[in-house]
Structure 1
Amino acid sequence: MEGWCFVLSRCLISARGSPSTSLEVNSCSFCRPAGPSAPAAPSAPGPAGVPDRLFLLNPEGPHLDPSDALLIFCIDISGSMGITSPVSSDDKTIYRTRLQFVKDAVLQCVQRLCYQQPELRVGLITFNNQVTLHGYEGSGSRLLGDAELIDSEYLKGAASAFLSPPPLCQTRDRLQRALLGLSEGGSTALGPAALLAIAMASRQAGSKVIVCTDGKANTDLGNLEVEDHDAHTLLSSTIFYQDLGEWAASKGVTVSVLSIEGTDCRLDELGRLADRTGGKVLIASPQNLHWEFEKILEDQAIATHCTVTLLFPQSLCLRGEREAEHKGTREVGNVSPHMEITLQFGAKEQDPESAVPLLSAGERVSVQLQLRYRLRDGREMLRVLTAQREVTHDSSSVLSSLSLAIIQLNSSQAGAALAVRGRFQDARAEGDAQRLLMDRALQHNCSAEEEQIYDQWKKTMEPIHGSIHDYTRRKSVVSDSQPLTDKGAALLYGMKHSNTNSISLRDKQRPQ
């Protein structure tokens, strides 16, 4: 097995030179069996000398203003937000509600944003048994309830008709008054509120929605309070959040979900919104809500609608992707800074009836990475990087040159992607295969740094290999259909979207 890892955001940012608008191809080494290839057209050098081409796909396309992107706070004000927690203040203990903690956290974010990004457009949506779109100067608020919260198309229309917020420098005072005036009560119409927030944000690619809640959605649309006795309703809600995440990604909207420690929000289902759009799934204590909001805000999308395609000769194939052949495509969607992606590939199992010959030692094969994405100003780009790799049958030379950091990251991402879908046995099998590979690599390159990376990997994968029952709602893991606890969902979604820095940081923060 081989691996391929790249820092996706760096690939997008480092694209240099004027983009081309046309390309002539005389011969394609990926569409035919291995053999002598025609000379490639000269290309500008990319990372590590890899030939690099950049294309503008919509030269006549519309120019968008990135500053028109929206930030929508979608805040739970249901009755459970009135539950209190003790706080020490001036040598005495006072009790504050969850909603008070949330209001303080959002107010701090608004104050900082107004100072650092005064042109940012910030909106506020709150929800209990009703959903309120909070207005601005010259535009009143909109309250939706009852039957209005059942019809998805009606909700999209209501969001479309609601005016976009002006820049924060013009709305800060009213926004602060709206936050300070919030009070808790009622049920949790989270599903309709999330839909409205995403619909508002969808006006501009690169927009962001932050959903903050302390409980399960329990109204008709997106109801997550049902248990196994109502499997039909739960399946309907699963499909609702899955489709809503797909729709948000198609509009270039990033959705993050922040829940409060000690609550049950069914983050395994709600987290689908963040998983598909490149957002975060976080759990915070009431006292730390502000820092978690800031953690979400610091990740700004640098591109949207990103698709990654990896091409190999027909004698090689990708593994674990939608197309398990010599061409694989992954729909990434929104790209944030420091995003890293890993993919697996290897030699095809030889079919006696296949016309594709085996690779020979010393032969050079082409590997091509295609990144298609949309910048926040509306330009649609295609970046193509092509590398040559030499085939060897000498396993010792390969093992001694392996990067354990890349294998560790790939194992974390691939294992979590399986586990978050309930495929725990497959996740363990994936980890076992990676462990054997790392064991063999350490026999050829056993440095202190490599040993440390290996120890980090074992700690990272321990929840999947040793204690997955601590993260499922039913303690007996006997099938691939075990729902995750909120803690398990936040952990696995985080692992699925981890990068090398986040893995190291997680291990440093892990209690001993």
Structure 2
Amino acid sequence: MEFACSHVVCNWSAESINAAYTSVCPRRSVNEHTYDNRTTVVNQAEPRIGPPPLPPPRHIHPQKQACRTSTSTIPPPPSFRPPPPPAPSAPPLHSSIVSPLPIEGQGQSRLRANVNVVSLSVGTLVDISKASCLQSCQRPVNCGKCSAVLSSVSSIQINVWSCEFCGGENTLSPDSSADPSTLGPRLGAFRGPRGRDVLYRPTPVEGDYQNLEDSVVVFCVDISGSMSVTTEVTPGNSMRSATYISRLQGIQDALQRALQSLLQSSPHRRVALVTFNDEVVVYGDGTREPTRFTDWALFDYDHIWQEGVAYSTPHCIAECYQALLQKVNEFRDHGATCLGPAALVSVAMASRYPGSKVILCTDGRANIGLGAMEQVPSSSSSSASFYRKLSHQAAASGVIVSIMTFEGTDCRLAEVGLLADSTGGRVNIVNMVTVAMEIQSALADNVLATGVRLTLLAPDGMYFPYEDDSNHKLVRDIGNVTEGLEITFQFAVKVDSVENFLQRDRLPFQLQLSFKTRDQQKVTRIITEQRGVTTASRVWAGGLNMAVLAVHCAQLCARLTMEGRVHEAQRQLQAQQVLLADISEQRPAPKEESIYGNWIETMTTICDDLTPEPEGEKVETTQLQNSQCTPAVLSDEAAEAVYQMKRASSGNSSSGRAQAHSTAKKTPEAMEAM
């Protein structure tokens, strides 16, 4: 767990963002500030592995540039800057030191954005091959009230554990032989310092093991009539004519390269092929008679799923490479686009083997069968419901789906992209030059764990904004996890609990990750930490973790935008811009500032395009807050950017570099299409 601030800011409230959306707090001099003698928090920045991927270059409309300048201008730096904090002789836990001046003394209430943010590197935590934590073959001891796990920070008095999260009392038997779920001989181990990170790994059961090469790769390819559209790949001159290739030819070349790569790197990997136009054809490994879905079958969800699950297991690519290559070379473009049924049967085929992949390539909007799209998008439409249902089924089966569309097309990527967003796959717009590379990148995205469930516990009296406004326990089903996945959350203290928390020295947090590894082991990892407390007036901006805050801002605003909550996303963006400006002023980091500023400006451009400024009087804050949440109507280019922002991370994993390449190729003209 990585926190944006090393202490919990107890008196932050959501009203600060709403107030900042339409007004600026009056300037307050240093002398007017009410002194608060609680400890000021200054995080010492931890070294980052590398910068996160860049989003698409921005193109801001001239009329909106003037508006943005007037509404989100960052105030000039104060005339007085606090001296640097003194370095302690022996840094205490979490390397926190005291700042002589709070950031509110600079003239504005800078904590409009919530700095109570935690980042969870789930992609790293589920990779047990690299885990250096304490491992146990026994079951964890859970609180009977809130399901917290007994850890090294727990207090035990005469075999009674008073839960540090909910206050519930749990009686622990000193005799482990009476009940395997009781504490028993583990009491000493949990009191050790290493008990803050424990991996519960039961003894493997015979028959549970699964060969990693048993997973399947299903290529689901559009061969409709629009795939005949050509693109110039070699310009002509006086000596020769220009060279053009069609989208179908580009896909054929990319698939040939992918098959050749799999043959060399993973000769035992199973590969299947599915095509679709006005019918769906399942070739499998190319050695059997193909199965076809036409007419009524294109509208029968259960029939397609059952046929896909029952389809014969493909041979490994070493045995069917030539047969697959022949089928690819025989592709002919014609007909309509029944994308939905093709995606359904592909996921069903892959569902028998957790960790399998479906790579779907298309250039047009689905217009036949299940998932056929209406002219006007709607969250309640049959197509949106279909892709939502299929995405949940794929995630539950441990299947990762990647979606690739071609530049200059309208595939309604905001809807189809749900398949990738829910399963840990990629959403990319490709061209003739990049399609082969993007397919290779999708093949490299191996699932590290399936069925991942995340539980985050904070003390009773806290809540998680935008997740659960009443509960101190957050549960999220993540599904598939690939390398580099990072998830962030906000947390805050309820108003009636602020004074109580400020009387405590430290507050506990616990992360519980339950998942299945690639070899089908059921594992639970428990990480417990404690954090000190402070108030908003005593937080020094220069000590905050810019990376955690920026990643959270990108993820949250992208999610709100996709849900149609554009005004809320804009409020978050404005508050975050001011906060990042404070951090940059106190601790300049030009490289990070450029990257994270790029993220914020990209999301701001998308949000502004979705909510044009009204003419006449300014819209009241209450009107913006009470506006209905309607699904965002995003172009494919905007949808690609938003989906990739939802999976923003601060690392430089291979997947991150590939996504950086994908987004960096955008032109200003492409962004203008948003």
- Cα offsets for 1:8-57 (capped at 9, x unmatched): 121122334543232335332112299xxxx98645999xx781111136
Amino acid at match of 2:226: S
Change in 2 beyond 3 A, CA 1:491/1:109: same
Amino acid at match of 2:167: R
Tell me which of 242, 262, 265 is aligned to 2:411: 265
- Cα offsets for 1:54-93 (capped at 9, x unmatched): 1136854722222111110000001111111122189531
CA distance in 1, matches of 2:537, 2:211: 52
Match of 1:446 in 2: 587
1:266-345 equivalences in 2 (<5 Å): 266-322=412-468, 324-345=470-491
Amino acid at match of 2:515: Y
Identity rate, percent: 31
Question: Which stretches in structure 2 are left out of the alignment for 5+ residues?
Answer: 1-113, 142-149, 151-160, 170-185, 615-626, 669-674
Amino acid at match of 2:409: T
1:67-466 equivalences in 2 (<5 Å): 67-88=213-234, 91-136=240-285, 139-224=288-373, 226-228=374-376, 235-322=381-468, 324-350=470-496, 358-360=500-502, 363-393=505-535, 395-397=537-539, 399-443=541-585, 445-447=586-588, 449=589, 451-466=590-605
CA distance in 1, matches of 2:464, 2:628: 27
CA distance in 2, matches of 1:44, 1:195: 50
Amino acid at match of 1:22: R
Tell me if the contact between 1:33 and 1:314 (Cα under 8 Å) persists in the aligned partners.
Answer: no
Tell me if the contact between 2:136 and 2:202 (Cα under 8 Å) persists in the aligned partners.
Answer: no
Question: Is it true that 1:8 corresponds to 2:125 in the alignment?
Answer: no
CA distance in 1, matches of 2:542, 2:518: 42
Tell me if the contact between 2:162 and 2:168 (Cα under 8 Å) persists in the aligned partners.
Answer: no
Tell me if the contact between 1:133 and 1:142 (Cα under 8 Å) persists in the aligned partners.
Answer: yes
Question: Is it true that 1:52 corresponds to 2:197 in the alignment?
Answer: yes
Question: Is it true that 1:495 corresponds to 2:645 in the alignment?
Answer: yes
Q: 249-258 vs 480-489, which deviates more?
A: 480-489
Question: Which stretches in structure 1 are left out of the alignment for 5+ residues?
Answer: none
CA distance in 2, matches of 1:372, 1:76: 37
Tell me if the contact between 1:315 and 1:357 (Cα under 8 Å) persists in the aligned partners.
Answer: no
Tell me if the contact between 2:287 and 2:320 (Cα under 8 Å) persists in the aligned partners.
Answer: no
Tell me if the contact between 2:569 and 2:607 (Cα under 8 Å) persists in the aligned partners.
Answer: no
Tell me if the contact between 1:73 and 1:211 (Cα under 8 Å) persists in the aligned partners.
Answer: yes
> How far apart are 1:317 and its partner, in Å?
2.0
The secondary structure found in structure 2 opposite 1:358 is helix
Tell me if the contact between 1:369 and 1:386 (Cα under 8 Å) persists in the aligned partners.
Answer: yes
Change in 2 beyond 3 A, CA 1:23/1:151: same
- Cα offsets for 1:337-375 (capped at 9, x unmatched): 111111111222227xxxx96212561111111111111
CA distance in 1, matches of 2:587, 2:301: 57
- Cα offsets for 1:115-174 (capped at 9, x unmatched): 011111111000011111104465321111111111011001211221111111111100
Tell me if the contact between 1:309 and 1:328 (Cα under 8 Å) persists in the aligned partners.
Answer: yes
Q: 18-27 vs 5-14, which deviates more?
A: 18-27
The secondary structure found in structure 2 opposite 1:185 is coil
Amino acid at match of 1:303: A
Tell me if the contact between 1:361 and 1:393 (Cα under 8 Å) persists in the aligned partners.
Answer: no
Tell me if the contact between 1:33 and 1:313 (Cα under 8 Å) persists in the aligned partners.
Answer: no
The secondary structure found in structure 2 opposite 1:291 is helix
Tell me if the contact between 1:322 and 1:330 (Cα under 8 Å) persists in the aligned partners.
Answer: no
CA distance in 1, matches of 2:489, 2:378: 35
Q: How many residues are matched?
A: 495
CA distance in 2, matches of 1:220, 1:112: 34
Question: Is it true that 1:28 corresponds to 2:163 in the alignment?
Answer: yes
> How far apart are 1:475 and its partner, in Å?
7.1
CA distance in 2, matches of 1:296, 1:160: 23
